Amino acid sequence: MSEQKKSAPKKEQGFPTYKGKPLVRSGDTIYYGSMRDKYVIKMDIKSKKKVGDLDVADKVSVQLMYTDPEIRTRKQIVKTSEKEGLYLALDIAEAWLTRALAE
C-alpha cells in the first residue's frame, strides 16, 4: 500500500503572531507589528531570571516607534516604558499599537 500524503493548504510562511500581528525576534529584541504599517513596537529584554531550566524575561523595555526610514532614529520613538515580564510588555504593546494604528 502506498502512503498518500495529504498536503495542507499552502499558507504563507510567516512569523508567529500575537492578536493577529507578527512577532519577529532577533536575539533579545522582539518587534511586534508589521513594518508596512506606520508604527511598530520594539521590545528589548533587559534582564532574565531562571525558572527551572528556562531563562525567562524579567525586565522588558517597550517602545512605540515610527517605521518611516526617513525619520531620524532618535525621532522615531513615540512612547517608551519598562515592564516586569514579557506578558505585561506584550499587553501594553498591543494596546499602544492598536491605538496608534487607529489614528
Coil/strand/helix, residue 79: strand
Backbone angles phi, psi at 40, to 5 degrees: -145, 160
50 backbone φψ class: left, alpha, beta (φ>0; ψ -120 to 50): beta
pTM of the predicted model as reported, rounded to 2 decimal places = 0.81
Helix intervals (H) in the chain: 73-76, 86-102
For residue 103, pLDDT over 60 is answered with: yes
Coil/strand/helix, residue 1: coil
* Total count of residues recorded for the chain: 103
pLDDT tens readout for residues 51-96: 999 989 999 999 999 999 899 988 999 999 999 999 999 999 999 9
